[in-house]
């Protein structure tokens, strides 16, 4: 039994003629006849008395058609509800965002989003990538901003932009004599990285050619949850690190930054939502606000190499 079969028996009850009912359903008469008979065989009840002219429902068929009409009305109401939900973004929504994006992206897009959507209230939470995905699955947040691909079947990914990784080192470091940096020259023993749990850490070590960091050349072991803390260490002459382009302040960071040779290593930043999330308008408005407020350099198409974090 399926929705189409219910629509067919209702149409046949309305028209009391197979050809007319088939035309109203935009199918051929043999198809309608076959589907009605198939339904009757499945439930073991004859719905229509074909010996009458025009045809009419049997006594049992009348009750079945009444129930079919009720089911189709409820399905129609459900479709209307979902359609309304998709077009409405009034109320409060929970947004998760990874810590290596939050301080650099939120100040860019939030003013425009708030101004254009005054009846929408975002409750924003910083949360690491794996926990963000769990929160989506557990309905603890509605949508997220994170690095993709996550490659989870029930999670939608809506790419927003590709953010380059930049080399960050003391201005007198030998590599800084080069206009562009080759990633094959990087030594994972000399790179400062974020703590476990940050997808940016995994990507940094991947670019350096090593999946984990067992040894370092510093004489101490230091990991931070803050990109700004790593930058501060580097400015004091300790090692080097990689930073996302949005984190770079032109006035203070420029002497310490170099780009990589093409294809530039980048991270893909996306909106993520569970497949059951119906507020498409919210996703569209958030996407517009983010993309409208990106630096021109990030908007430009270039030769890039997408770095995965999983």
Domain enclosing residue 203, as ranges? 163-265
Buried b (16+ CB within 10 A) or exposed e, 263-292: ebbbbbbbbbbbeebbbeebbebbbebbee
CATH of the domain at 18: 1.10.10.10
Same domain, yes or no: 47 and 80:
yes
* 245 in a structural domain: yes
This prediction has a pTM of: 0.74
Buried b (16+ CB within 10 A) or exposed e, 120-151: bebeebebbbeebbebbeeeebbbbbbbbebe
Last residue of a domain, one of 39, 65, 87: 87
Last residue of a domain, one of 87, 120, 141: 87
Kindly give the confidence (pLDDT) of every residue in the chain, 310 residues in length, as a single tens digit, with 9 standing for 90 and above.
Answer: 899 999 999 999 999 999 999 999 999 999 999 999 999 999 999 999 988 888 999 999 999 999 999 998 888 878 767 766 667 788 899 999 999 999 999 999 999 999 999 999 999 999 999 999 999 999 899 999 999 999 998 999 999 999 999 999 998 999 999 999 999 889 888 899 998 889 999 999 999 876 545 556 565 666 778 999 999 999 998 889 999 999 999 888 999 999 999 999 999 999 999 998 888 899 999 999 999 999 998 888 788 999 999 9
Rounded to 10 degrees, the C-alpha dihedral 130/131/132/137 comes to 100
Same domain, yes or no: 208 and 126:
no
Count the domains in the chain: 3
Same domain, yes or no: 229 and 260:
yes
CATH of the domain at 144: 3.40.190.10
Same domain, yes or no: 51 and 124:
no
Six-digit token pair at 211? 């999946």
Same domain, yes or no: 98 and 143:
yes
CA proximity to 110, closest of 295, 290, 296: 290
User: How far apart are alpha carbons 92 and 90 in whole angstroms?
Assistant: 7
* pLDDT tens profile 6-44: 999 999 999 999 999 999 999 999 999 999 999 999 999
* 158 in a structural domain: no
Same domain, yes or no: 125 and 199:
no
- Secondary structure (DSSP) of 237-258: T--BEEEEGGG--HHHHGGGEE
Last residue of a domain, one of 55, 70, 87: 87
Same domain, yes or no: 139 and 55:
no
Same domain, yes or no: 181 and 261:
yes
pLDDT for the residue numbered 132 = 97
* 169 in a structural domain: yes
Same domain, yes or no: 27 and 80:
yes
* 189 in a structural domain: yes
CA proximity to 156, closest of 238, 42, 271: 271
The residue assigned the tokens 């198809």 is 31
Same domain, yes or no: 233 and 251:
yes
CA proximity to 297, closest of 248, 253, 252, 256: 248
- Secondary structure (DSSP) of 79-132: HHHHHHHHH---EEEEEEE-TTTHHHHHHHHHHHHHHH-TTEEEEEEE--HHHH
* 143 in a structural domain: yes
13 by DSSP, 3-state: which?
helix
């Amino acid at each position: 039994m399926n929705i189409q079969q219910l629509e067919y028996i209702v149409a046949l009850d309305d028209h009391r003629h197979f050809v007319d009912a088939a035309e109203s359903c935009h199918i051929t008469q043999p198809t309608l006849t076959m589907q009605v008979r198939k339904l009757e065989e499945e439930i073991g009840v004859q719905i229509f008395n074909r010996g009458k002219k025009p045809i009419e429902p049997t006594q049992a068929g009348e009750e079945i058609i009444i129930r079919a009409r009720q089911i189709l009305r409820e399905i129609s109401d459900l479709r209307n509800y979902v359609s309304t939900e998709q077009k409405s973004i009034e109320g409060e929504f929970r947004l998760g965002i990874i810590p290596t994006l939050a301080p650099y992206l939120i100040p860019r897009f939030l003013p425009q989003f708030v101004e254009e959507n005054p009846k929408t209230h975002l409750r924003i939470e910083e949360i690491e990538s794996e926990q963000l995905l769990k929160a989506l699955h557990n309905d603890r947040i509605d949508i997220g901003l994170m690095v993709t691909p996550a490659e989870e079947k029930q999670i939608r990914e809506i790419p927003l932009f590709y953010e380059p990784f930049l080399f960050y080192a003391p201005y007198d470091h030998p590599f800084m004599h080069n206009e562009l940096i080759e990633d094959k020259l990087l030594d994972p023993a000399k790179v400062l990285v974020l703590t476990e749990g940050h997808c940016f850490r995994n990507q940094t070590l991947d670019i350096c050619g090593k999946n984990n960091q067992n040894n370092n050349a510093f004489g101490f072991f230091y990991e931070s949850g803050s990109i700004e803390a790593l930058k501060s260490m580097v400015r004091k002459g300790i090692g080097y690190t990689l930073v996302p382009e949005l984190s770079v302040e032109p006035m203070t960071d420029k002497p310490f930054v170099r780009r990589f040779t093409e294809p530039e290593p980048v991270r893909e930043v996306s909106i993520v939502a569970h497949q059951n999330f119906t507020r498409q308008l919210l996703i569209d408005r958030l996407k517009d606000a983010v993309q409208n407020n990106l630096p021109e350099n990030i908007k430009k198409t270039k030769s890039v190499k997408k770095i995965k974090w999983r």
